[in-house]
Structure 1
Amino acid sequence: MLIRLLRTSMRPYRTQLAGVVVLQLISVIAMLYLPTLNADIIDKGVTKGDIGYIWSTGGWMLLVTAIQIIAQACSVYLGAQAAMGAGRDMRAALLHRVGTFSAREVGVFGAPSLITRNTNDVGQVQLLVLMSATILVMAPIMCIGGIFMALRESMQLSWLLLIAVPALALSMGFIISRMVPGFRRMQDRIDAVNRVLREQITGIRVVRAFVRERQETFRFGVANSELTEQSLYVGKYMALMFPMVMLISNVTTVGVIWFGGHSIDNGDMQIGTLTAMLAYIMQILMAVMMASFLAMMA
């Protein structure tokens, strides 16, 4: 259902999406090239005292950084343009479709559910499109490119990726598997709050006439408490996600520094290579985390 919806709603914005892919590719390539330039500055400039090489390579780094920033900014702009346009079209299509419903069909869905679909649900899809334009394209390129560049820098430390990447993927998969059912239940709770609030607003005169303020306040409090409880359940797992990523990232960093330090001491590796490996491993782990987050949103 989601894929069919996105295929239909994103068809008018194929030009923007093609631009997003091209710009994200340029941005990620520039991002992956920067640690190599930094390693060259350390190994060929700082250690040898070559000030001219430091200045020239530093200028290249500034140029590559400027290209990366411009490409990323333009990519986000085009992605936001496509996402906002798709959201506008979806809301208009939903409103037109609901306008053709009979009274029985409206009763089957319920007015609160129809309101939630046209506001919160469309907003979720809109956010998914925007995040896909900025993350879905970038994450696999960064992950594959980071692995390639890490192998290119040092085969000796690349075995750490065989431990860190699966560990991060498994931990993210476990957390997401707990969060997704919670998000589904949270949508039902949002429907319940909308239903109670709509009934109270439309029937406010009846409530006052029969002095039902206390009962209606209690009724809304129950629906609100259920939504709060479900949001806290999801929030606890979401709060666990980033510390887990940081734990795996920091343990991997310690491993790279530990084994890389021994290699430098033995003369098998240069300091610049170690710094580049650290940067590439962080980029790979961040790509895995972003892809996991996007899967959770979908």
Structure 2
Amino acid sequence: MLWTLVRKYTKPYLRLIALAVVLQLASTLATLYLPSLNARIIDEGVVQGDTAFIWRVGGLMLAVAFGQVVSAVLAVWCGSRVAMAAGRDIRTGVYQRVDSFSANDVSRFGAATLITRGTNDVQQVQLIILMGLNFMVMVPIMSIGGIIMAVQEDPGLSWLVWVSVPVLLIIVGLLVRLLMPLFTRMQGNIDSINGVMREQIMGIRVVRAFVREDHETARFTDANAVLTDTSVRIGRLFILMGPIITMVLHLATTAVLWFGGHRVDQGLVQVGSLTAFMQYLLQILVAVMMGTFMFMMFPRAVVCARRIGEVLDASSTMVEPEAPVDLEDPRGQVAFRGVSYAYPGAEAPVLDSLSFTVESGTTTAIIGATGSGKSTLVNLLPRLQD
């Protein structure tokens, strides 16, 4: 559902998406080129004492770095424009669909969850679009390109890449597997706390009239505690991710310096090439880490997209007439002839064979005992129910 939703609502912005991809490609290639230039400065400039070469290649390095910064900034700008516009369109779609619902349709979903799906859920999908446009080009090119460049600098240390990257991927896969059910639970908890707050705000007069403040406070405290507990569980996994990834990065750096130092001592590789290899290895791991962060947000976005899709795909039980009557007299009238209405699952109708006519410019009072169907009748008049 996430891919269907993203594809539908980003289709009008394909030009901006293409521009963001091209700029991300340029930025990533420039980032991959910088360690190679740095290695040349060390091996051919510093070691040889060639100051002119250092200035020349250093100037090129400065120009490449400037181009990388400009490309990255413009790419983020384009991605942000697409993500914000897509989020706006999705919210509009959800609002228009809910606006067409009957009172029964709203009751079937619940007002609290409809509010969450039109706000927080859309925000999560919007965030995954933004992260996707910023990382979907950079991560694979940085990873694959970094591996190629690292092997070119020193094939003898390439085994470090094949060890560190799978270890990082396994760790990330385990964390994502643990996060998926927690994100599903968290969205339900947000629905619950929104429902409690909505009921308390709408019924504040009744709450105070019957002195139920303590009871309602306890309800909110319970809902808030459940949401807090789920958020803390998710936060613990996110916090665990940082030290683990940092440990992998530091162990990889230590291994490069240890084994690479021996190869430099044996004359198998130059210092500049070793420096470039270490930078490429760090770039690969950082790219994997960024991709990991995106995929850790992916489960929550999938859950939110599924919830949004349920609203967008829901058909209203209130069917509009194919050929509505166009009245020449704007005053008109409201007429019920033998109208009956029963709520879903009810044993008996709350209104039975009701007939009346209300002429334009007149006032009609609806009088009856509690439970006689006054509110139902009022909902039937503007077609909040059929």
Q: Same fold (TM over 0.5)?
A: yes
Q: Indicate the residue corresponding to 1:142 in structure 2.
A: 142
Distance 1:205 1:276 in 2: 70
Q: Indicate the residue corresponding to 2:90 in structure 1.
A: 90
Q: Indicate the residue corresponding to 1:39 in structure 2.
A: 39
Does residue 285 in structure 1 map to residue 285 in structure 2?
Answer: yes
Cα deviation 1:144-190 (Å, max 9, x = unaligned): 11011011111000111111000000001111111121111111111
Q: Indicate the residue corresponding to 2:60 in structure 1.
A: 60
Using structure 2 for the length normalisation, give the TM-score.
0.77
Where does 1:268-283 land on structure 2 (aligned, <5 Å)?
Answer: 268-283=268-283
Distance 1:181 1:55 in 2: 55
Where does 1:91-106 land on structure 2 (aligned, <5 Å)?
Answer: 91-106=91-106
Where does 1:181-260 land on structure 2 (aligned, <5 Å)?
Answer: 181-260=181-260
Distance 2:173 2:295 in 1: 9
Q: Indicate the residue corresponding to 2:166 in structure 1.
A: 166
Distance 1:277 1:10 in 2: 38
Larger fraction in strand? 2
Percent sequence identity is: 50
Contact (CA 8 Å) 1:136, 1:294: kept in 2 or not?
A: no
Aligned-residue offset at 1:250: 0.5
Distance 2:255 2:19 in 1: 39
Please tell me the residue identity of whatever aligns with 1:115.
Answer: I
For residue 282 of structure 1, give the secondary structure of its aligned residue in structure 2: helix
Q: Indicate the residue corresponding to 2:335 in structure 1.
A: none
Distance 2:51 2:14 in 1: 48
Aligned-residue offset at 1:48: 1.0
Distance 1:199 1:213 in 2: 13
Q: Name which one, 1 or 2, has greater alpha-carbon Rg.
A: 2
Aligned-residue offset at 1:291: 1.4
Distance 1:104 1:210 in 2: 29
Higher relative contact order (CA 8 A, sep 6+): 1
Please tell me the residue identity of whatever aligns with 1:270.
Answer: Q
Does residue 6 in structure 1 map to residue 3 in structure 2?
Answer: no
For residue 211 of structure 1, give the secondary structure of its aligned residue in structure 2: coil
Q: Indicate the residue corresponding to 2:363 in structure 1.
A: none
User: Which 5+ residue runs of structure 1 have no aligned equivalent?
Assistant: none
Aligned-residue offset at 1:100: 0.7
Aligned-residue offset at 1:218: 0.8
For residue 156 of structure 1, give the secondary structure of its aligned residue in structure 2: helix
Distance 1:253 1:180 in 2: 32
Distance 1:282 1:88 in 2: 37
Distance 1:281 1:108 in 2: 53
Q: Indicate the residue corresponding to 2:265 in structure 1.
A: 265
Q: Indicate the residue corresponding to 2:151 in structure 1.
A: 151
Distance 2:162 2:119 in 1: 43
Aligned-residue offset at 1:8: 0.4
Distance 1:209 1:169 in 2: 58
Please tell me the residue identity of whatever aligns with 1:194.
Answer: N
Distance 2:37 2:242 in 1: 29
Cα deviation 1:99-129 (Å, max 9, x = unaligned): 1111111111100100001100000011111
Contact (CA 8 Å) 1:41, 1:54: kept in 2 or not?
A: yes
Aligned-residue offset at 1:293: 1.7
Please tell me the residue identity of whatever aligns with 2:80.
Answer: A
Aligned-residue offset at 1:77: 0.4
Count how many residue pairs are aligned between Structure 1 and Structure 2: 298
Q: Indicate the residue corresponding to 1:78 in structure 2.
A: 78
User: Which 5+ residue runs of structure 2 have no aligned equivalent?
Assistant: 299-386
Does residue 27 in structure 1 map to residue 27 in structure 2?
Answer: yes
Q: Indicate the residue corresponding to 1:179 in structure 2.
A: 179
Please tell me the residue identity of whatever aligns with 2:13.
Answer: Y
Aligned-residue offset at 1:20: 0.8
Distance 2:267 2:198 in 1: 72
Please tell me the residue identity of whatever aligns with 1:140.
Answer: P
Cα deviation 1:207-243 (Å, max 9, x = unaligned): 0000000111111000001000000000000001111
Aligned-residue offset at 1:40: 0.6
Aligned-residue offset at 1:287: 1.2
Aligned-residue offset at 1:192: 0.6
Q: Tell which deviates more after alignment, 286-295 or 58-67.
A: 286-295
Please tell me the residue identity of whatever aligns with 1:113.
Answer: T
Distance 1:257 1:180 in 2: 38
Distance 2:285 2:181 in 1: 25
Contact (CA 8 Å) 1:27, 1:68: kept in 2 or not?
A: yes
For residue 269 of structure 2, give the secondary structure of its aligned residue in structure 1: coil
